[in-house]
Structure 1
Amino acid sequence: MSDDIGRIHAALTGIWAEDDAAAQRALEDAFSDDCAFYFSHPVNEVAGRAAAWETVFAPLRAALRHARRRDEIFITGANRRAEGGNWIAAVTHYVGTFAGPLLGIAPSNRLAFLRSGEFYRIEHGRIVEARVILDLPDLMRQAGRDPFGGLLGTEMLFPGPATHDGILPGGDGTASLDLIEAMLGDLHVYDPGTGTSKGQTGEGGYWADDMLWYGPGGVGSNYRWDGFVQDHRAPFLAAFPDRKGGNHYARIGQGNYAAISGWPSMTMTHRGAYLGVPATGKALTLRVMDFYRCAGGQIAENWVCLDYMDLMAQMGVDLIARSNAMERTVG
């Protein structure tokens, strides 16, 4: 299995070769012919490798000139959820000059780092199921047309782990995944008056005092638990007080890292204003990917990819149309 993972890792990088033929050979080496692809909105479900090339990979290569894949986290492990299987989980950026339109998003002709959260199920040495969240709202922000207007946390490039060891770190991930599952179990229940949940912070808490939380476009990143509550948790709970999460198809761990994902993970009702959108009263779902680094029995860093393109579409908001209608604010 380790040989397969190394080969797949190399093939995923090879998809960004300058030569189209070499890129397609790498795609064939990474993915089975009938791989099931699930992308974030507006692409959504794509059946088979050839269709994924035409729908996503070729347009991405055309839009991001001279693009390269730059992994920050790349781990593998056996899935603890009932679905089972061996999975890869990755946080990466596609780095290039945003020189052509992508899925209708107007280009900037400047350097862009398109962040991506990815989960891949492996069988017989190839990926047979792929789930990918492209952070298109953050790409719009980088192009100078932020559809959210910077309402919450600090919008920034996702950094790699502080320990610089997130690529196939090795080691057993049981303790890391145990910690994450315990945290999630307590985080789900909260006091509606204060928004607090059992055991998250303080002595013996799940989160380190100097935790860093890296959020998607629209939410941004923050520092320490107070920053997380201010910039994400409090606004989210105010808008979606009945949110229920944890519907995950995959939970894996490797070394000091763990990753979870649900498609969707959350169900909730839109009962308060969120990111400038008044309450709609609609029942909504949210696709989620979380990646964690643990240290000393606590969570030190958390990278979060959320399909806000899909969430906002459910609210009746077309982020691409909104962004393209804006005047550029950079350059």
Structure 2
Amino acid sequence: MNEKNGMNGQVNSAAVTGTNAGQRGDSAPADVALAFVEQFWNGGDLACTAAYLADDYRDHAYEPGDAAGLRQTAEALWRAFPDQRSEVESATASGDRVVVRLRMTGTHLGDFRGTAATGQPIDVKVYREYRIEEGRIAEHWALLDTASLLRQIGAQLHEHQACRVGQGPGQGQGGDQGLVQA
């Protein structure tokens, strides 16, 4: 198992790539996961999922639990926090698994779970685990500190599912159904 702390979003991939030689080309699991975080989450490139996600990709954090759920959740987050950035604080790789600890920062400039834009800055932790198979992401799990995020934007904490991204209290069905684990 290898770990390297990031600095300004940069992780020395040489420190985390040696755990799974023989993966598709020279792409070690950590390289795949970190490149995906940069291109998808920081770059806003929804189309990159075709290259990074396995055909039978399964998402354990968002609904629906597939690539569409991932994209819907990302779109909801980008609408609410269009300047968001996820800085890699650390990445740990072991075999086909990669866990990345991120610091997500941004500004609340759009509706988030029924709370209108406040202009408030956000600064929360996000943990992502990826399982890499044949150089592509086969599975994803995520944990976002939703309670801290809601407090930072002045949202009310309710008894509804804390992990709903696209639904605020009383919004009923419809809208984005993405989940962020809380």
> What's the TM-score once normalised by structure 2's chain length?
0.71
Equivalent residue in structure 1 for 2:65, among 219, 223, 234: 223
Task: State the shift of 1:172 in Å.
Answer: 2.3
Secondary structure at the residue paired with 1:293?
Answer: strand
Q: Deviations over 1:304-325 (max 9, x none)?
A: 0000010001111342xx329x
Structure 2 distance, partners of 1:277, 1:82, is: 32
Aligned residue number for residue 180 of structure 2: none
Structure with the larger strand share: 1
Unaligned runs of 5+ in 1: 1-76, 84-170, 191-195, 327-331
Give matches, 1:57-206, under 5 Å.
Answer: 77-82=1-6, 172-173=19-20, 175-187=28-40, 188-190=42-44, 196-197=45-46, 199-201=48-50, 205-206=51-52
Counterpart of 1:225 in structure 2: which amino acid? A
Tell me if 1:255 matches 2:95. Answer: yes
CA distance in 1, matches of 2:88, 2:2: 18
Matched, 1:283 2:99: no
Alignment: residue pair count: 144
| d(CA) in 1 for partners of 2:68, 2:6 | 35
1:212 to 27, 39, 58: 58
Q: Structure 2 counterpart of 1:172, which letter?
A: T
Equivalent position amino acid for 2:49 in 1:
Q
Distance 1:197 1:222 in 2: 16
**What secondary structure does 2:57 align onto?**
strand
Alignment-mate amino acid for residue 189 of structure 1: G
CA contact (8 A) 1:179 1:298 kept: yes
Give the secondary-structure state (helix, strand or coil) at the position aligned to 2:111: coil
1:275-328 Cα deviation digits (max 9, x unpaired): 111111111112110011111110011000000010001111342xx329x9xx
CA distance in 2, matches of 1:82, 1:279: 31
Q: CA deviation at 1:208?
A: 1.1
| Contact kept in structure 1, 2:111 and 2:117, CA below 8 Å | yes
Q: Tell me, which stretches of 5 or more residues in structure 2 are unaligned?
A: 8-17, 22-27, 161-168, 170-182
For the residues of structure 2 that align with 1:82 and 1:274, how far apart are their CA atoms? 29
Separation in 2 of the partners of 1:288 and 1:323?
Answer: 22
Structure 1 counterpart of 2:99, one-letter code: A
* 1:46 match: none
In structure 1, C-alpha distance between the alignment counterparts of 2:6 and 2:71, rounded to whole Å: 32
CA RMSD of aligned residues (A): 2.3
Considering only CA atoms, is the larger Rg found in Structure 1 or Structure 2? 1
How much does 1:207 deviate? 0.9
Identity of aligned residues (%): 26
